[in-house]
């Protein structure tokens, strides 16, 4: 899909029927599309500003919106409700940002466009979801596909929630440590050090060094603030590179790599379960599922597996060579292939690895807690020692 087909985020000001103003963010292809989208909500566009793509990352359909949409479609379409009517009802169970997208889907389907193609044109559905919808339309099992996609979305939410917890907890501790240390370094240490110097005490080198550093930060506050702001801007602009580097690091750290591997496997088997459930051939399902992986070695191994499978290889003999997959997983897949029950095996493995992410994340957090306490002691404790050492020396001399 081309970049031009992806809706852009807009900041808008619109008039309400009651005479008030509505302000918000919404995705649209252009100003005319934005105006049409707002009219569906009985709003009249007054002003709009096109924003950079990254500003609107939170706009559009979230994973929770996808889960709610597919849940609703699965329930309604399975009971014989026409897809257009089901989409109209589903627009009420998604967020305000996602509602115009669902309404646009309804309009396109009502106009005769295939559901999968309509989803692709919005730019809000990934390759896997579109492929599953397309396969479901061919087999006539759209409710089953929607149910499976809703299950996958719930799994993703569970995995993302644990990943967020794993990242946020250390980030909060680090931020608090830096703020407290900065305040102590710029205000408390210099004041106490100067008081002790006036009393005729000789300060240790570490205290003097921290006093100089604190006074330098305090005396150049605007420069330091500018450097910090520039660093934050650079971090935002280069967040893709930073995230890529962080992922590479996490795949190498002993405790972290197990969590990352479980996340990757949960995502992979969720995709495989959804696609095989919709009647997609194994080779085609692998071709799409591999794109959902971020683990380079596993991506390479499974891509090679797919190529050999297309060439006429037998899965049960090929899967055993994919050494990036755990041995138990390989044996289970071999047994499932022999029994002709791969679809159930993929779904079972997706559930197992989602549970494993939760268990391993809890273990990792338990390991991080003492390490974070040590980090806080090294940062804040060194400043406290810089204050306490000269005070203890002064007290020992009877001052």
Token pair recorded at residue 58? 């939170």
Q: Are residues 252 and 217 in the same domain?
A: yes
Same domain (yes/no): 36, 87: no
CB 48 within 8 A of CB 10: yes
CA pair distance 145, 123, nearest whole angstrom: 20
Structural domain for 120, as ranges:
63-155
Cβ-based neighbour number of residue 226 at 10 Å:
11
Rounded to 5 degrees, φ, ψ at 128 are: -65, -50
Kindly report which listed range (186-190, 365-369, 391-395) carries the lowest average pLDDT score.
Answer: 391-395
pLDDT higher than 90, residue 124: no
Whether 145 has a pLDDT exceeding 70, the answer reads yes
pLDDT of residue 5: 42
Give how far Cα 93 sits from Cα of 20, 39, 226, 280, 392, Å.
Answer: 25, 20, 44, 29, 65
Three-state DSSP at 48 gives: strand
- Tell me, yes or no, whether 141 and 177 share the same domain: no
Read off the DSSP letter of residue 357.
H
User: Are 119 and 133 a contacting pair, CB within 8 Å?
Assistant: yes
pLDDT at 89: 92
Relative orientation angle of helices 254-277 and 342-376, to the nearest 10 degrees: 150
Residues 338, 194, single domain; the answer is yes
pLDDT tens digit string along 7-49? 577 888 888 887 778 777 777 778 887 888 788 777 888 888 8
Residues 183 and 123: their CA atoms lie apart, in Å, by 46
Same domain, 209 and 333: yes
Whole-angstrom Cα distance, residue 226 to residue 59? Answer: 30
CATH of the domain at 125: 1.20.81.30
Q: Which of 26, 41, 57 is the last residue of a domain?
A: 57
| Cβ atoms of residues 77 and 87 within 8 Å | no
Does one domain contain both 68 and 196?
A: no
A 10 A CB-CB count for 206 gives 14
**How many domains does the chain contain in total?**
3
Token output for 45? 């566009």
- Can you give the pTM of this predicted structure? 0.66
Looking at the fold, whether 317 and 335 belong to one and the same domain comes out as yes
Average pLDDT for the chain: 83
Tell me what pLDDT residue 276 has: 83
Query: Hey, is 225 helix, strand or coil?
Result: helix
**Residue 80 shares a structural domain with residue 40:** no
Q: Indicate if 320 and 225 belong to the same structural domain.
A: yes
pLDDT at 3 over 50: no
Q: What is the pLDDT of residues 41-95, one digit of tens each?
A: 778 888 888 876 555 444 568 888 999 999 999 999 999 999 999 999 998 888 8
Q: What is the pLDDT of residue 398?
A: 56
Q: Looking at residue 397, what is its pLDDT?
A: 67
Q: Quick one: which of 382, 384, 387 has its CA closest to 194?
A: 387
Nearest residue to 45 (alpha-carbon basis) of 33, 32, 35, 53? 35
Q: Averaged over 304-317, what is the pLDDT?
A: 86
- Taken as a whole, the chain contains a residue count of 399
CA–CA separation, 224 and 226 (whole Å): 5
Q: 91, 125, 155 — which closes off a domain?
A: 155
Q: 21-25, 312-316, 393-397: which has the highest mean pLDDT?
A: 312-316
Structure-model confidence comparison of residues 5 and 229, the more confident one: 229
Which of the residue ranges 68-72, 271-275, 278-282, 387-391 has the most confident prediction, judged by mean pLDDT? 68-72
* Residues 237 and 379 placed together within one structural domain of the fold: yes
* Whether the Cβ atoms of residue 35 and residue 46 lie closer than 8 Å to each other: no
According to DSSP, the residues that pair with 12 across neighbouring strands are: 24, 48
The mean per-residue pLDDT over the stretch 332-352 comes to 89
**pLDDT tens-digit readout, 285-304:** 888 888 878 788 888 888 88
Q: Where are the alpha helices (DSSP H) in 54-141?
A: 63-77, 83-90, 99-110, 115-122, 127-139
Residue 380 has pLDDT above 80, yes or no: yes
In this structure, what token pair is assigned to residue 296?
């380079």
- Of 138, 155, 172, the one marking the end of a domain is 155
- 107 and 169 both lie in a single domain: no
Instruction: Kindly state whether residues 107 and 148 are assigned to the same domain.
Output: yes
> pLDDT confidence of 1, banded at 50, 70, 90?
very low
* pLDDT one-digit tens code per residue, 218-247: 888 889 889 989 988 888 777 777 777 777
Give the Cα separation of 393 and 1 in Å (integer).
71
The pLDDT of 276-284, averaged and rounded, is 81
pLDDT tens-digit profile of 201-220? 778 888 888 888 888 888 88
Find out whether 270 and 345 touch, Cβ atoms under 8 Å: no
């Amino acid at each position: 899909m081309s970049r031009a087909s992806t809706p852009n985020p807009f900041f808008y000001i619109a008039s309400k029927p009651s005479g008030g103003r509505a302000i918000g963010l919404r995705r649209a292809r252009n100003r005319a599309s934005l105006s049409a989208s707002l009219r569906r909500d009985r709003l009249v566009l007054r002003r709009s500003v096109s924003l950079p793509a990254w500003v609107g990352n939170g706009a559009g359909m979230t994973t929770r919106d996808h889960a709610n949409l597919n849940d609703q479609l699965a329930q309604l379409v399975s009971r014989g409700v026409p897809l257009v009517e089901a989409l109209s009802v589903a627009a009420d169970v998604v967020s305000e940002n996602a509602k115009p997208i669902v309404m646009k889907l309804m309009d396109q389907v009502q106009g005769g466009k295939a559901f999968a193609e309509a989803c692709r044109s919005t730019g809000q559905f990934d390759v896997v979801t579109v492929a599953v919808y397309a396969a479901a339309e061919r087999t006539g099992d759209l409710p089953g596909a929607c149910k499976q996609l809703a299950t996958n979305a719930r799994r993703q939410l569970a995995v993302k929630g644990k990943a967020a917890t794993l990242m946020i907890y250390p980030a909060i501790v680090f931020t608090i440590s830096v703020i407290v240390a900065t305040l102590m370094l710029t205000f408390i240490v210099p004041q106490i050090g100067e008081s002790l110097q006036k009393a005729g005490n000789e300060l240790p080198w570490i205290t003097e060094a921290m006093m100089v550093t604190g006074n330098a930060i305090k005396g150049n506050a605007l420069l330091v603030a500018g450097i910090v702001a520039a660093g934050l801007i650079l971090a935002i602009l280069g967040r893709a590179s930073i995230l890529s580097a962080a992922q590479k690091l996490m795949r190498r750290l002993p405790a972290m790599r197990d969590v990352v591997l479980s996340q990757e496997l949960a995502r992979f088997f969720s995709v495989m379960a959804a696609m095989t459930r919709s009647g997609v051939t194994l080779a085609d399902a692998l071709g799409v599922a591999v794109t959902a992986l971020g683990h380079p070695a596993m991506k390479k191994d499974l891509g090679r597996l797919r190529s050999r499978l297309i060439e006429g290889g037998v899965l049960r003999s090929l899967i055993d060579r994919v050494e990036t997959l755990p041995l138990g997983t390989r044996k289970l897949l071999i047994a499932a292939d022999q029994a002709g029950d791969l679809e159930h095996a993929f779904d079972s493995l997706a559930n197992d690895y989602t549970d494993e992410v939760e268990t391993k994340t809890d273990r990792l957090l338990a390991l991080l807690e003492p390490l974070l306490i040590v980090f806080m002691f090294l940062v804040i404790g060194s400043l406290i020692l810089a204050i306490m050492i000269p005070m203890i020396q002064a007290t020992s001399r009877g001052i």
